[in-house]
């Protein structure tokens, strides 16, 4: 799965950042079966710069585990149910303390100089929650 992430990653970010972006894109843009989702979760956790944080709360108050990576002063986290690996949502949090720099990234100014633009360390920049997923037999059909 990790190899698949790097092979399918398209974008202008450094490879390790783009692989993590591909994880989020894959989950958001198509239905991923639970077994495959758990493999994707495990592969994401092995991408350089990615860390796992337990006890995270999503936008609607559900507890979960986050797989996240900080790039340019913002930590992008994908939040999963800790038991089932069901995707709960995502969030972006200002992270001015990260020292990780992806391989191949050009030197950038210290994120601490961007406090005014990003907000204070730990500030929530974006959040979303997936509250229902359903599979139907045909387009336009509403789930029960």
Tell me what pLDDT residue 77 has: 96
| Stated pTM of the model | 0.83
| Greatest pairwise CA separation for the chain in angstroms | 52
Pairwise CA distance, residues 117 & 120, whole Å: 9
CB 109 within 8 A of CB 133: no
What is the average pLDDT score of the chain? 87
pLDDT tens-digit series, residues 79-101: 998 888 889 999 999 999 888 98
Characterize the bridge pairing of strands 124-129 and 87-94.
antiparallel
Ranges of beta strands (E only) in 16-62 are: 50-57
Query: What 3-state DSSP class applies to 38?
Result: helix
């Amino acid at each position: 799965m990790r190899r698949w992430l790097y092979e399918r990653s398209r974008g202008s970010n450094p490879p390790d950042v783009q692989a993590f972006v591909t994880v989020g894109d894959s989950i958001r843009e198509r239905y991923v079966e639970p077994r495959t989702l758990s493999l994707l979760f495990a592969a994401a956790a092995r991408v350089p710069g990615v860390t796992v944080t337990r006890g995270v709360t999503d936008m609607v108050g559900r507890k979960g585990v986050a797989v996240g990576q900080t790039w340019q002063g913002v930590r992008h986290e994908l939040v999963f149910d800790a038991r089932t690996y069901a995707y709960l949502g995502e969030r972006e949090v200002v992270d001015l303390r990260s020292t990780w720099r992806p391989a191949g990234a050009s030197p950038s100014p210290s994120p601490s100089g961007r406090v005014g633009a990003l907000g204070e360390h730990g500030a929530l920049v974006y959040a979303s929650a997936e509250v229902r997923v359903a599979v139907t037999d045909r387009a336009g059909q509403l789930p029960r």
